[in-house]
Structure 1
């Protein structure tokens, strides 16, 4: 294989990865609605309704409240991300590369949340909330291989995506069994995406970066609907659906990235065993990652997608990449022990399937994940309590092939910690 062919394939891989990692970063789902949910791996969260945060998973649960209820808290996301066994394509084939093993990619992010439910009468309730559904952060800037014009600069760089969901919802209780709810979501997204070019390609195209979008932001509007069916006070089911919009984010230089976000549907059940202090609860959630059929980038000015087809370096101001993503699933089961009037204990397990399929990414690793969760509530009174939850999120080794240019094994683990105060008035 000659050097010209390697050069062209390197540029193609860099262009594809610039899109791939952006899509995955924007679409990385956060479960950051409540510390209570973290403590049970979000098993049953669309129906349990033990504090106001339940409206984020199913607006119909607001009908289960007979007092004004407020919950506010935060989630700390501590990620441990690494790469190993990196091999790069050369004229002599794939060879191990120095600096390809890197374990300082993750970091710590804080995601706050607040939820308020206000019953109007025994039929109607309304609520407002603010939290995050999507976000991620990886930074390779301290790696001389994956950044700083190193050989893998196109596959690392920096990805920092955050979102905020501002919701307004209402619920209606039809009878003793059925309740319904619907809500409007105003979603704000902000992010930085930077992908470098290795030496000597950066000099060839006149830029150190393929893409360099800094602090781009944009807005979108979505909605959610749900229902709750109560067999009795100890057994109930919840079903909800959330439509997520497509967001166009623009930075100060007019560069645009259009991000399609996935829709979500969830079914939950809750069953308290009669005459005991124990309840079991579960959830199945579908996430429509297949909405990522393509990702569009326009008005690229600081670093753009190189094209050598004309025989001389040139840059296009727009780029569109195709994808083969798959829908994701969460399967969660948990248990709650109502120990006494002051203390409630909970635990849970979730299996979370990967969104990536044919296209994989070094910059934001993905794989099937397992959640091990535990939490507790301390009740100061009947109307006031504090929740704590912790989850160990276990990823798996994933073999990544970056367009036949770089072979590497990635892994992403995380610890989620949540604290939340709730009060009824």
Structure 2
């Protein structure tokens, strides 16, 4: 088989993983802004504004705060990724089935909102929108020199979003916000050349590559009254060019996102319903650009098509304000697969369903702790990449813990 063609297909799969993230949302988007959001499947997160983490979904929500507010926490992502029914060149390979590809990742977050007066507020935050850890190295077939080496290997990617935002309250109904996103990405990607027919070795060996990009976000909130409000936000995501010490380079376009949310507390009750619809512009992956990869084995520049489709999240949730000390919440989300006709063994994707629950314990009016947990259910997907086919599945458990304080 043509070595350059294998290289380009393998780099393509690697680059798409690098551009995206953890196997806990379709399209591999990482939802790691808050434990509160995990507990309600992020339903209503662009408008609820129950702690400072809301600025990550909509900067206009900062106008709803009348005190300096701090939230800090983390999310643990425990993934269960498998491939089965594997074939190579049309021949079944039961020994290549593998169910230990996923792992556990930790994503911290911090958010600070500072009201200046009754109209202006500013805020800063740090969190992750993208990140992954998949490792096929425990399988002889998928490891560096096995038959599936160009499509397995190891991927360890993280990203950090540093944000600075401001908001302005126009009147009692309308508020607006905008923010700047500085995005740092870092990762290691390894793929191999199968033994036999060509020299075995590294096909891709990008170690600790990193790079920066600049994006922005906009948002608005409309308050019908104190119990009913709507939020709309848009996030522009840049291209990220990651480069390692050997001048190996991958340029990846990240998806833009837009979200509409609503929040409605039923009058004279302790119950509220909230919902979100989010669009994720995965069709930005019309091509992936690669430069000077493979340390001279096949030098040059490459452009590869990867025809993803735009994704959608549909979420609905409920919150129960039991008393002054305890708040309970739950939620459900359905998100659609980003992969379309082109599929990948090493980038398992499918439509997914979230089942979420969470709680807040209020130590006082100004201090509370949030806990959230989600069980994310993927589906079996038949995929084909090069001469390998199989059925992939990616499930996950998300657990979040967060402390919030107002000053």
Normalised TM-score (structure 1): 0.92
Q: Determine which of 410, 414, 417 is the counterpart of 2:392.
A: 410
> Does structure 2 conserve the Cα–Cα contact (< 8 Å) formed by 1:100 and 1:146?
yes
Deviations 1:275-328 (A, max 9, x none): 000000000000000011111111224375xxxxxxxxxx23322211211000
Contact 1:26 1:136 in 2 (8 A): no
Paired residues of 1:159 and 1:363 also in contact (CA < 8 A): no
Q: Deviations over 1:129-187 (max 9, x none)?
A: 00000111101111100013011111100111110000000000000000000000000
Q: How does 1:18-417 map to 2 (within 5 A)?
A: 18-27=11-20, 28-89=28-89, 94-203=90-199, 208-302=201-295, 304=297, 315-403=298-386, 405-417=387-399
* Partner of residue 311, structure 1: none
Quick one: distance in 2 between partners of 1:323 and 1:143? 26
Corresponding residue of 2:5? 12
Greater alpha carbon shift after TM alignment, 248-257 vs 12-21? 12-21
Comparing 266-275 with 355-364, greater Cα deviation is found at: 355-364
Provide runs of 4+ in structure 1 moved above 6 Å: none
Alpha-carbon distance between aligned partners in 2 of 1:129 and 1:148, rounded to the nearest angstrom = 39
d(CA) in 2 for partners of 1:236, 1:222: 27
CA distance in 2, matches of 1:253, 1:327: 34
Q: SS of 1:302's equivalent?
A: helix
CA deviations 1:240-289 (Å, max 9, x no partner) are 00000001110011111001100000000000000000000000000000
How many pairs were matched up? 400
- CA drift of 1:18 comes to 2.4
Q: CA deviation at 1:14?
A: 4.9
TM-score (norm 2): 0.96
**What is the distance in 2 between the residues matched to 1:282 and 1:17?**
39
User: Gaps spanning 5+ residues in structure 1: where?
Assistant: 1-6, 305-314
Q: 1:140 to 1:284 in 2, by over 3 A?
A: same
The Cα of 1:15 is off from its aligned counterpart by 2.5
Would the alpha carbon gap of residues 59 and 397 (structure 1) be closer, same or farther in structure 2, given more than 3 Å must change? same
Q: Is the 8 A contact 1:213 1:302 kept in 2?
A: no
- How far is the alpha carbon of 1:21 from its aligned partner? 3.7
RMSD between aligned residues = 1.2
- CA deviation map 1:89-108 (0-9, x unaligned): 0xxxx111142110110000
Q: 1:118 to 1:112 in 2, by over 3 A?
A: same
Q: Secondary structure at the match of 1:316?
A: coil
Structure 1 residues 273 and 129, CA gap change in structure 2 (3 angstroms) = same
Query: What do residues 176-230 of structure 1 show as CA deviations (whole Å, max 9, x unaligned)?
Result: 0000000000000011111111012451xxx612211111000000000000000
Q: Where in structure 2 are there 5+ consecutive unaligned residues? A: 21-27
Secondary structure of the equivalent of 2:30? coil
